[in-house]
Amino acid sequence: MIDIIAEPMFEHQIERGQSFAEGLRRHGVASRIVSPQGPATSDTVVCWGWRIAAPLVAAGKRVLVMERGYIGDRMKWTSMGWNGLNGRAQFGRGPVGRFDQHQRLMQPWNPKGSYALLIGQVDGDAALYGMQFQPWAVRIASQASKAFELPVKFRPHPVAIEYGQNYPVHGTDRIYGTLADALGGAAVVITFNSNAGVDAVLAGKPTITFDPGSMAWPVTSHDWTIPPEPDRKPWAEWVSGCQWSADEIRNGTAWEYVNRGSPS
């Protein structure tokens, strides 16, 4: 028996949970959908988000964490990793060739630009693991300005603005508009672990990440060196293999591959 935790008030959790249960049935695996209040009594649990997953992992359960995808339309793809979030998870990846459908997103390498772009994140997001983002951003902006001798532009996360987190990051100019436009003028992109790092590497921009949980970690720098062009295709293939469509979840394909990466 596998417990699938889904919050009734979130339609995407219910939809993915029901689809996952259907996929399990096609493999002859029994499951049940429970609320976050549980109790989740099975040894294997599927849930949405790290906040729910973390205490279950700490309790010794085998937890498959679902989240938004990484490449393409993130609302249409669902990432699935065992016992961790994003780059800290164990993945049972899909077959080779999954990046082919996203190939148009891979742009030529283009380190030319007039500023260093600092990517905002949402305070309180589970991916930050309790880090206060604003003090970090202020410190990083100052270091980036000295390291690159370029103006630093800060793009706040749209959700952070909705939450009223439109705080100042001293030493930067604000840049709004689309992420693609912001990336286009950047000589280097800096992020803690935002998925914008994935977008930046695909856009051909040298990128610096500071947390191993970033899905762009393998193809980015982690200090004040601007990285040369990495071998992006194997990395993009790997990332594409960590996410699944709704149909693949429902027809059992996702479980077939994800289960291979399951911890014992």
pLDDT tens-digit profile of 36-64? 987 889 999 999 999 999 999 999 999 99
pLDDT: which is higher, 37 or 155: 155
263: pLDDT confidence band, cut at 50, 70 and 90? confident
CA-based angle 159:165:171, to the nearest 5? Answer: 110
Q: What is the pTM of this model?
A: 0.95
CATH fold of 105-238: Rossmann fold (3.40.50)
Q: Where are the beta strands (DSSP E) in 167-236?
A: 172-174, 186-191, 207-209
CA distance 104 to 148: 30
- pLDDT the model gives residue 205: 98
CA-based angle 248:66:88, to the nearest 5? Answer: 120
Q: What is the mean pLDDT of residues 111-120?
A: 97
Residues in a beta bridge with 153: 117, 173
CA distance 77 to 243: 6
- pLDDT the model gives residue 89: 97
Please check whether the two domains, 2-94+242-261 and 105-238, share a CATH topology: yes
- pLDDT the model gives residue 39: 85
Q: Is the pLDDT of residue 115 over 80?
A: yes
Q: What is the pLDDT of residues 79-109, one digit of tens each?
A: 999 999 999 999 998 888 999 999 999 999 9
Q: What is the pLDDT of residues 2-22, one digit of tens each?
A: 999 999 999 999 999 999 999
Q: Is the pLDDT of residue 264 over 80?
A: no
Q: What is the pLDDT of residues 211-241, one digit of tens each?
A: 999 999 999 999 999 889 999 999 999 999 9
Q: Is the pLDDT of residue 166 over 90?
A: no
Task: Report the run of H or E that residue 245 belongs to, with start and end.
Answer: strand 243-245
CA distance 258 to 243: 10
Helix (H, G, I), strand (E, B) or coil at 68: strand
Domain boundaries, the chain: 2-94+242-261, 105-238
Q: Is the pLDDT of residue 179 over 90?
A: yes
Task: Provide CATH code, domain 2-94+242-261.
Answer: 3.40.50
Q: What is the pLDDT of residues 186-213, one digit of tens each?
A: 999 999 999 999 999 999 999 999 999 9
- pLDDT the model gives residue 210: 98
